[in-house]
Amino acid sequence: MRNVWIIARREYKLFFSSPVAYVVAFFFMILLGWFFYSALRDAIIQSTYQAYVPTVQIIISPLVTLLLFVMPAITMRSIAEEMRMGTMELLLTAPVKDWELVVGKWLGAFLFMLSLLAVTWIFPIVLNFLVKPGIDQGILLSGYLGLVLMVASLVGIGVFISSLFNNQLVVFMVSLALVLVFWLVRPSSSTTGGLGNQILTYLNFIDHYLNFYKGTIDLSDIVYYLSLTSLALFLGTVSVEIRRWR
Amino acid sequence: MIEVEGLTKDYGPRRAINNLTFRANPGEILGFLGPNGAGKTTTMRILSGFMPPTMGEARVAGFDVVDESLEVRKRVGYLPETVPLYPDMTVFDYLKYMADLRHIKNADERVDDVLEIVHMDERANGYISNLSKGMRQRIGLAQALLHEPEVLILDEPTIGLDPAQIREVRTLIREIGKQRTVLLSTHILSEAQQICDRVLIINKGEIVVEDTPERLQAGLTGVQRVSVRVQGDGDGLEKLINEISGVGKVSTTHEGAVEVESSPGKDLRPLIARNVVKAGFELLELKSIDLSLEDIFIQLTREEPEPPSTDDTSEDGS
């Protein structure tokens, strides 16, 4: 476990010395700020016709979308870069277990994403001052809990994909494609029922977030994200092991 | 200690190493020689725990490289062929990271120590991306020494160094090799000759010969050779030497010297000298010719069925 922490710590620090992370974080916040501003403007216009109080959802909903696109950029480097630079040889000949390496890589990127999420608290806090009598803190907490869980599984998927290829660009594209599949794939309405549809519904990334979004915490959603994370990390470990045999 | 038995590794249909068996004892520096692509790096990767073999067994420091890989990795210092460094870290941070991964106590002090050993203490706070190739090589070596390993595996440790640094690293390796087991690969034969206690030549994944550098030179050819040079064109010299008893094959080189072969253990030089002088020649030079490791190497690793032109290039490359 100690190795996991050592690897995660280096990984986390590295984000702050690489321009990619800053660029991503910068545009992330700019876009988020812009969405926040336009949502507020709409709310003001709307409130002239009817009683309308914007909820924290106006910030969480663009946040979810942005996170889906940011993840591939944050995790594309993770293991792929070690492969390309040959430093993988160093890590795989150090007394570190393969899973410790993968989990450490995941934890470092996860912590970076959490830092990014922490910065976005600025918007709910601002909103809290703007609306009376303050925002619904239940939705805020469940919404962010959901985000943390979703980020955990997203980063897990990203690290797994990063363990498959040496090329960062390939990793980015595949991760993005996979996220879009999880995000958009829904059973067609004409063919309701059936096991296939049930599986597709179950796998959908966003559907599991809806409860958090509405302010309810459902155990099955937590289980979904945690098992997705574990599966991704398990597959990542297997992938590193397979690389040894080649 | 390194014990290897029947080690075989396939990359798909290609067999990289075939049935290697050898051992290296503590306090011994074993040189691993062979042309490019002979299987040196593959063998070292297996011994360092990077990848498992297809068949066969290897024990390093008393542990099996497959079943007890972690124990092996704790005890091996490994410098891969392409020195694995993080360019965006400082020298100190990089070594500290590796020391932490190896759970070294007082890691900061130990990092300072190894930096001093490889003479890089002045660049501790510089970024690795700014270092020259030789400096990087030395940082890689420092990394391999961090945990004072029982076994050192060095894949071409002197590549990219300037002559002064090469000498330094060789001295360092010899120093380390006094108490530890060192396996180093090289294709510089004089290097093997200088630092290794024993040499193992491999070609196409198989061990061709294993011996001390000295014995290789002396014993392998099976003949002793003497070169004779006289003033003038030396007409009749070859014929004269041919008549001396005990002389084997005699030939004249294109430089005008006569090369005489005889069975080992019998020094013909006094006899040749006396006969040559008595016949009225002015003797300029009389010396015994040692085969260099280069010659032995090329002899052993020559690819016989290849046409001569490609043969030449492969020898140049090795």
Q: Tell me the per-residue pLDDT of B103-114, one tens digit each, with 9 for 90 and over.
A: 999 999 999 999
Chain A CB contacts of B128 below 8 Å: none
Distance from CA of B272 to the nearest CA of A (A): 59
Over residues B52-79, mean pLDDT: 94
CB atoms A90 and B143 under 8 Å: yes
Per DSSP, the three-state class of B206 is: strand
- The percentage of residues in chain B with a pLDDT greater than 90, rounded to a whole number, is 42
pLDDT at B316: 41
Query: Which structural domain range is residue A228 located in?
Result: 1-245
Band of pLDDT at residue B311, cut at 50, 70 and 90: very low
Band of pLDDT at residue B297, cut at 50, 70 and 90: confident
Distance from CA of B95 to the nearest CA of A (A): 12
Distance from CA of B27 to the nearest CA of A (A): 23
pLDDT at B204: 86
Q: Say if residues A150 and A64 touch (Cβ distance below 8 Å).
A: yes
Its sign, for the CA torsion A101, A208, A136, A130, is positive
CB atoms B48 and A93 under 8 Å: yes
Over residues A134-142, mean pLDDT: 84
Residue A4 clears pLDDT 90, i.e. is over it = yes
pLDDT at B304: 55
Q: What is the pLDDT of residues B160-177, one digit of tens each?
A: 788 888 888 888 888 888
CB atoms B70 and A95 under 8 Å: yes
Laid out side by side, the sheet with B29-33 consists of: B76-79, B151-155, B181-186, B29-33, B198-203, B206-211
Greater pLDDT, A159 or B295: A159
Per DSSP, the three-state class of B228 is: strand
Chain B CB contacts of A89 below 8 Å: 45, 50, 80, 82, 84
pLDDT at B59: 95
CB atoms A95 and B143 under 8 Å: no
Q: Say if residues A147 and A110 touch (Cβ distance below 8 Å).
A: no
- Out of B74, B84, B100, closest to residue A6 by CB: B100
Residue B315 clears pLDDT 60, i.e. is over it = no
Across A25-29, B276-280, B300-304, least confident range: B300-304
Average pLDDT score, chain B: 85
Highest mean pLDDT among A81-90, A105-114, A209-218: A105-114
Q: Nearest residue of A to residue B51 by CA position? A: A244
- The percentage of residues in chain A with a pLDDT greater than 70, rounded to a whole number, is 95
Buried b (16+ CB within 10 A) or exposed e, A24-42: bbeebbebbeebbeebbee
Residue A93's closest CA among B83, B117, B56, B111? Answer: B83
Band of pLDDT at residue A101, cut at 50, 70 and 90: very high
Band of pLDDT at residue B309, cut at 50, 70 and 90: very low
Which two three-digit tokens encode residue A243?
């690389």
Across A97-111, A128-142, A229-243, B294-308, least confident range: B294-308
Chain A CB contacts of B143 below 8 Å: 90
Q: What is the pLDDT of residues B117-138, one digit of tens each?
A: 888 899 999 999 999 888 898 8
Buried b (16+ CB within 10 A) or exposed e, B135-167: bbbbbbbbbbbbbebbbbbbbbbbbbbeeebbe
Over residues A99-110, mean pLDDT: 96
Q: Nearest residue of B to residue A244 by CA position? A: B51
Band of pLDDT at residue B220, cut at 50, 70 and 90: low
CB atoms A94 and B80 under 8 Å: no
Band of pLDDT at residue A238, cut at 50, 70 and 90: very high
Chain B CB contacts of A244 below 8 Å: 50-52
Q: Nearest residue of A to residue B80 by CA position? A: A89
- Beta bridge partners, B258, equal B228, B252
Distance from CA of B167 to the nearest CA of A (A): 26
Chain B CB contacts of A88 below 8 Å: 84
Band of pLDDT at residue A172, cut at 50, 70 and 90: very high
pLDDT at B265: 67
Buried b (16+ CB within 10 A) or exposed e, A195-207: eeeeeeeeebbee
Type and span of the H or E element at A148: helix A137-162
pLDDT at A174: 95
Q: What is the pLDDT of residues B139-154, one digit of tens each?
A: 999 999 999 999 999 9
Chain A CB contacts of B101 below 8 Å: 3, 6-7, 91, 94-96
Over residues B248-256, mean pLDDT: 79
Chain A CB contacts of B100 below 8 Å: 6
CB atoms B84 and A2 under 8 Å: no
Greater pLDDT, B316 or B220: B220
Per DSSP, the three-state class of A194 is: coil
B→A contacts (Cβ < 8 Å), by residue, are: 11, 45, 48-52, 70, 73-74, 76, 78, 80, 82-88, 97-98, 100-103, 143
Query: How many alpha carbons lie under 13 Å from residue A189 in its C-beta half-sphere?
Result: 0
Over residues B236-249, mean pLDDT: 81
Q: What is the CA radius of gyration of chain B?
A: 24
CA dihedral A103→B65→B49→B20, nearest 10 degrees, is -150
Determine how β-strand B55-60 pairs with β-strand B2-11. Answer: antiparallel
pLDDT at B313: 41
Q: Where are the alpha helices (DSSP H) in chain B?
A: 40-47, 69-75, 91-101, 107-117, 133-145, 163-176, 189-195, 213-219, 237-242, 269-278, 293-301, 308-317
**DSSP states of B77-129 as a string?**
EEE-SS----TTSBHHHHHHHHHHHTT-TTHHHHHHHHHHHTT-GGGTTSBGG
Q: Is B235 exposed, middle or buried (0-12, 13-18, 19+ CB in 10 A)?
A: exposed
Residue B76's closest CA among B132, B146, B156, B174? Answer: B146
Distance from CA of A114 to the nearest CA of B (A): 23
A–B interface: beta-carbon pairs under 8 A: 60
Average pLDDT score, chain A: 88
Q: Nearest residue of A to residue B88 by CA position? A: A17
pLDDT at B293: 66
CB atoms A93 and B73 under 8 Å: yes
Q: Nearest residue of B to residue A2 by CA position? A: B101
Per DSSP, the three-state class of B57 is: strand
Q: How far apart are CA A245 and CA A228, in angstroms?
A: 26
Chain B CB contacts of A91 below 8 Å: 101
Chain A CB contacts of B51 below 8 Å: 244-246
ipTM above 0.95, yes or no: no
- Out of A2, A86, A97, closest to residue B80 by CB: A86
Residue A97 sits at φ, ψ, to 5 deg, of -75, 150
Residue B314 clears pLDDT 60, i.e. is over it = no
Residue B17's closest CA among B55, B59, B67? Answer: B55
- Out of B45, B97, B102, closest to residue A95 by CB: B102
What 3 state SS string does A92-134 have?
HHCCCCHHHHHHHHHHHHHHHHHHHHHHCCHHHHHHHHHCCCC
Among B101, B102, B103, B148, most A C-beta atoms within 10 A, so best to mutate, is B101
Residue A191 clears pLDDT 70, i.e. is over it = no
Over residues B175-198, mean pLDDT: 87
Residue A192 clears pLDDT 70, i.e. is over it = no
A→B contacts (Cβ < 8 Å), by residue, are: 2-3, 6-7, 10, 14, 17-18, 85-97, 244-246
Greater pLDDT, A83 or A1: A83
Number of domains in chain A: 1
Q: What end-to-end distance do the CA atoms of chain A give, in Å?
A: 27
